[in-house]
């Protein structure tokens, strides 16, 4: 029940290293961004901009990493 075949094409439903790395990188980036929003220099209501930008950069770069890994052969065959 892990994979099914449609004609001669296998459907992986995103169970590839490229999909996992891209998803986990976006998740870690989002968590870092939330930590940046919650931990500012003046306590809770302020924002730590540097940490928030690092988290946002990870979220933005995660699809690029997934695309590169897919082109390198670690994604689903098309």
More confident of the two residues 21 and 13: 21
pTM reported for the whole predicted model: 0.76
Place of tokens 């870690």: 28
Retrieve residue 15's tokens: 């169970």
Rounded CA separation 67/60 (Å): 12
pLDDT in tens, 14-59: 788 889 999 999 999 999 999 999 888 887 778 999 999 999 999 9
Residue 49 Cα distances to 1, 40, 43, 46, 58, angstroms: 46, 8, 13, 9, 14
């Amino acid at each position: 029940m892990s994979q099914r075949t449609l004609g001669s094409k296998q459907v992986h439903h995103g169970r590839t290293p490229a999909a996992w790395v891209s998803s986990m990188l976006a998740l870690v980036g989002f968590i870092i961004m939330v930590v940046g929003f919650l931990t500012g220099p003046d306590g809770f209501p302020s924002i730590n901009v540097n940490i928030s930008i690092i988290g946002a950069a990870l979220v933005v770069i995660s699809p690029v990493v997934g695309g590169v890994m897919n082109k390198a052969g670690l994604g689903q065959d098309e």
